[in-house]
């Protein structure tokens, strides 16, 4: 199924059950393989698939961009920019405006808490190095849980969610990785490569981690115990909630 507003380039091959949505643009020579059974695999809406790209059994989210020659075998999130034969996440595009009231000014977004980098205490001498943090004082919240992430193949993407209440502190205790944070209005990228530098991600910030080096070890400190209901895993739902929060902030400002 191809939406009348979509564009499909010369020589593109689409097999299986695939729905090309909205104003999606598919370049020449693209190969898209969808499932034979079940619901169709969605591409878009408003996605861009560069010439010669290959998509195999993987949906592509709204407004995502696949650079020419990309090879994708797993789901592509909305607003992602993908490149290379490993389907690597390069960055996210600035998010489209969340679903807010037309009267909600962008200034409301400036009042929403956003992520920030913190420098922890580093002690380094001939015996080795030590990094420490305390609460209250250096850490932005009391820690209820921690976990580590390691052994991640370079092309893999982790995270892809936000929390309703939980704060997180991300530290690359070894190796390097990239983190993309999105508050529903703007996305920002951070490189973590030093154990004394931590990234504080407050609630209602969408986080994605990618480009792990082979030796990367990510330590995550969390303010809350694990609760599956605290996770927001659908990006469109997240943007809707971010827009509602911005509208609520603006209403509170107007009432004061």
Q: Is the pLDDT of residue 128 over 80?
A: yes
pLDDT digits (tens, 9 = 90+) for 80-111: 889 888 888 887 765 544 444 444 445 555 66
Arithmetic mean of pLDDT over the chain = 87
Burial 59-79 (b: 16+ CB within 10 A, else e): bbbbbbbbbeebbbeebbbbb
φ, ψ for residue 248, nearest 5 deg: -65, -40
Name the token pair of 59: 């949906």
Total Cβ atoms within 10 A of residue 122: 13
pLDDT at 110: 63
CA distance 195 to 218: 9
Question: What pLDDT, on a 0 to 100 scale, did the predictor assign at position 155?
Answer: 63
Residue 72 has pLDDT above 50, yes or no: yes
Catalytic residues: 161
Per-residue pLDDT at 178: 87
Spatial distance between the Cα atoms of 21 and 18, rounded to a whole number of angstroms: 9
Query: Is residue 184 within 8 Å of residue 207, measured between CB atoms?
Result: no
Tell me the pLDDT tens digit for each residue of 17-52.
999 999 999 999 999 999 999 889 999 999 999 999
Where b means 16+ CB within 10 Å and e means fewer, 84-99 reads eeebbbbbbeebeebe
**How far is Cα of residue 121 from the mean position of the Cα atoms in its chain?**
29
DSSP characters for 181-247?
A: EE-SS-EEEEEE--TTEEEEE-TT-EEEEE---TT-EEEEEESS---GGGEE--HHHHHHHHHHHHH
Per mean pLDDT, which range of 87-101, 123-137, 227-241 is the poorest? 87-101
Domains defined for the chain, CATH in brackets: 7-92 (2.160.10.10), 106-255 (2.60.120.10)
Answer whether residue 215 shows pLDDT above 50: yes
Parallel, antiparallel or unpaired: strands 54-56 and 71-72: parallel
Of 210, 166, 204, nearest in space to 183 by CA:
204
The pLDDT, as a whole number, for residue 75 is 85
Does 53 score more than 90 pLDDT? yes
Return the pLDDT at 123.
92
Mean pLDDT of 73-84: 86
Structure tokens at 49: 């698939």
pLDDT-derived band of residue 11, with 50, 70 and 90 as boundaries? Answer: very high
């Amino acid at each position: 199924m191809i939406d009348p507003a979509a564009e499909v380039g010369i020589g593109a091959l689409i097999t299986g059950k695939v729905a090309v949505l909205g104003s999606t643009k598919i370049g020449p020579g693209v190969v898209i393989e969808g499932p034979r059974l079940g619901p169709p695999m969605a591409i878009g809406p408003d996605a861009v698939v560069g010439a010669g790209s290959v998509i195999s059994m993987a949906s592509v989210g709204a407004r995502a961009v696949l650079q020419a020659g990309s090879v994708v075998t797993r789901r592509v999130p909305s607003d992602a920019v993908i490149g290379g034969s490993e389907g690597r996440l390069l960055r996210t595009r600035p998010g489209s405006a969340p679903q807010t009231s037309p009267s909600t000014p962008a200034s409301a977004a400036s009042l929403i808490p956003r992520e920030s980098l913190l420098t922890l205490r580093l002690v380094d001498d001939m015996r080795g190095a030590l990094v420490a943090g305390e609460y209250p004082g250096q850490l932005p919240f009391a820690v209820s849980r921690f976990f580590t992430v390691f052994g991640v193949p370079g092309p893999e993407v982790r995270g892809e969610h936000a929390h309703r209440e939980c704060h997180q502190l991300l530290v690359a205790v070894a190796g390097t990785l990239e983190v993309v944070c999105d508050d529903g209005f703007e996305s920002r990228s951070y490189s973590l490569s030093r154990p004394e530098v931590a990234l504080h991600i407050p609630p209602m910030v969408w986080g994605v981690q990618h480009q792990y080096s082979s030796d990367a070890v990510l330590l995550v400190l969390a303010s809350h115990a694990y609760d599956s209901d605290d996770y927001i895993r659908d990006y469109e739902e997240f943007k809707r909630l971010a827009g509602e929060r911005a509208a609520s902030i603006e209403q509170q400002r107007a009432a004061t």
